[in-house]
Structure 1
Amino acid sequence: MNDRFSIEQRLPSDYFASTLRADARQGLSAQPKTLPPKWFYDEPGSKLFEQITELPEYYPTRAEQEILAQRAPEIAATTRAGSLVELGSGSSRKTRLLLDALTAQGTLQRYTPLDVSASALLEAGEALCRDYPALRVTAAVTDFEHDLALHDEPGPRLLAFLGSTIGNLDPAQRTDFYALLRRALSADDVLLLGADLVKDPAVLVAAYDDSQGVTEAFDKNVLQVLNRELDADFDPDAFEHRAVWNADAERIEMHLVSRSEQRVKIPAVDLSVTFAAGESLRTEISTKFRRETLTAELAAAGFTVRRWWTDRAARFALLLAVPSR
């Protein structure tokens, strides 16, 4: 391993197994039934999501990349960050636009990606050390929803949370997450947040229910995860993928809807789950934001929005926020 690259394992060895069991037991016993979207992203699921980002209907990745391509130099000049910390970094592909701009600015010393996937961090970290000869990469395998401990990163720190992953959290979860962020950041640090915006529901639904069926395969993959990891006997063909716009909550919801009455056994958590015909399992929420409400939400959590940018079509926003004095 490159001597400028280190990876810290912050999760206990049984973290994934115990957390999946707890989420399955709680979510599949509830009414309505739910699962957190984090369980989409095993290796097959991550590959399917990469395919989704290339689909014509799925605009968020392209829209965010457009903003970053245009604004990264301004972000670098405004923040003069000594460290870039990224939450849920995955492959770090979009991050290179920020790394390039911060390197050109001459301030960047360290990149700290936080992700639950050790393999993604390892692959990305080694590639970045190879491509950025002066960069030190200190990765951490962690669940950033619960652990946001930052250590000796050179300041000021730019903490990036891209991809509108913030939309996967419900209002109570967002409040808790902002509080975690507020405690982690010092006065001279800056938050860079990506947020998908409210728009025509037809455009939104199409982005989560594409014509090629890739999103359907991605959605149903979570059942394969439960089958493999918890010895469940879900039949993915017995469920229909459905994406709906919840106008009251201003969010897209992905559901797996049972085609008939059925019973599913999940031996690893000693659970037998009955689905009525037409009953749904909600697998994801993706909240869409408005400038005024997101700015107010951040203000209530102790952040002041300093910059707000959108792509040309105003589909997606990227914002800089600082801890309020």
Structure 2
Amino acid sequence: MIIEDFMPKIGDSSIREKLAACLRSDPKTLPSMFFYDHHGSELYEKITKLEEYYSSKIEIPLLRSTAQKLKQELEESDLVELGSGDCSKISVFLDEVPREIRQTIVYYPVDVCKDSIEKSACNLQDKYPEMGIHGITADFLEHIEKIPGKRKRFFCFFGSTNGNLTEEKAIEFMADLGKVMNENDRLLLGVDMVKDIGIIEKAYNDSQGITAEFNKNILKVANDHLETDFDPEEFEHVAFFNREYSRIEMHLKAKTDQEVASPILNEKIIFKKGEMIHTENSHKYTVDGIKKMAEAAGLSVENIFSDDKKWFSLVEMVKR
């Protein structure tokens, strides 16, 4: 088992500059990759088990049935999971793959959280000792070229993570991914589909408040990097569906007028009561939107696997 780490460390100047620029922009933002420190990753695992969070409940059985159809494509391949998290979804997928095929696979989990990579790599090595594992701690938006490409590759991008990007950024990412993919490489992309708005909004405003805690945790991560004095309890979790962009938006709204200070910033960050920090988008797609992403990557859509309600889809794409 190998683990490579390409992520900047806490206090790295490039991270500080990126965060400071986002908090000084108008409107203020924080990149969603900063949700996933150790505590944030634990909270996200809890979110996926919530009653209101429909996508995991649909995606898990869909992963099983899809793996049964695609298992032969994995033979003698490098299995690359982007945004791998706690490895629960890839485990469901691999359970359906025969051992004689698994022993020809090298699995590459890619995630920004090193703790998640180390934990999941150890768990998977115990569960599938016949399979090679090579963990990569990286931001797949910036480090896509770090993923080895000597063998046939089968990319997995589960959980509608691609939907967290703006349409422009998603197209840019798909184009970058398409450039590093070789002929006959495959991508299995998880996509949350357009559906009743009430169902979508409920998933991001759960009754236990775990999504709210997850959202506020990004301020603690900002504190770690920037030495700011954000008090997460002085901000309110806000999540709503933006019809114009067909996406859920998550924000943090200042409860009062505030001044946030840091010994490494030249000036304070000023908030007016009611001012928002935009922390995440989660786009919902149509079939036309899926085809647009595939076209940007230069990939052919081979299959769209969906549940009976067509709430969630796994899209198989191939580089030709």
- TM > 0.5 fold call: yes
Q: CA deviation at 1:87?
A: 0.8
Match of 1:56 in 2: 51
Match of 2:34 in 1: 39
8 Å contact 1:84–1:110 — kept in the other structure?
A: yes
Match of 2:120 in 1: 124
8 Å contact 2:174–2:296 — kept in the other structure?
A: no
Q: Which runs of 5+ in 2 are unaligned?
A: none
1:296 aligns with 2:279: no
Tell me: CA distance 1:81–1:287, structure 2 relative to 1, closer, same or farther (3 Å). farther
Q: Distance in 1 between the 2:261 and 2:279 partners?
A: 18
Using the size of structure 1 for normalisation, the TM-score is 0.91
Match of 2:70 in 1: 75
Q: CA deviation at 1:77?
A: 3.1
Q: Distance in 2 between the 1:185 and 1:322 partners?
A: 9
Q: Select the residue among 94, 97, 106 that pairs with 1:99.
A: 94
Match of 1:151 in 2: 148
Q: Distance in 2 between the 1:255 and 1:142 partners?
A: 25
Q: Distance in 2 between the 1:112 and 1:80 partners?
A: 15
Q: Which shows bigger deviation, 197-206 or 146-155?
A: 146-155
Q: CA deviation at 1:313?
A: 2.6
Report the residue type matching 1:77 in the other structure.
Q
Q: Distance in 2 between the 1:105 and 1:73 partners?
A: 14
- Equivalent pairs counted in the alignment come to 318
Q: Distance in 1 between the 2:213 and 2:219 partners?
A: 10
Q: Percent of aligned pairs with the same residue?
A: 36
Q: Distance in 2 between the 1:199 and 1:268 partners?
A: 45
Q: CA deviation at 1:320?
A: 0.4
Alignment of 1:89-238 (within 5 A): 89-104=84-99, 106=101, 108-149=104-145, 150-151=147-148, 153-155=150-152, 157-238=153-234
Q: CA deviation at 1:67?
A: 0.6
Q: Distance in 1 between the 2:252 and 2:105 partners?
A: 45
Report the residue type matching 1:52 in the other structure.
I
Aligned residue for 2:228, secondary structure, equals coil
8 Å contact 1:80–1:102 — kept in the other structure?
A: no
Moved over 6 A (4+): none
8 Å contact 2:11–2:225 — kept in the other structure?
A: no
Match of 2:241 in 1: 245
1:307 aligns with 2:307: no
Q: Which runs of 5+ in 1 are unaligned?
A: none
Deviations 1:162-199 (A, max 9, x none): 11110111122112211221121111110010011111
Report the residue type matching 2:261 in the other structure.
K
Q: Distance in 2 between the 1:103 and 1:71 partners?
A: 14
Q: Distance in 1 between the 2:76 and 2:31 partners?
A: 33
Q: Distance in 2 between the 1:19 and 1:197 partners?
A: 35
1:17 aligns with 2:16: no
8 Å contact 1:52–1:215 — kept in the other structure?
A: yes
Q: Distance in 2 between the 1:294 and 1:64 partners?
A: 17
Match of 2:265 in 1: 269
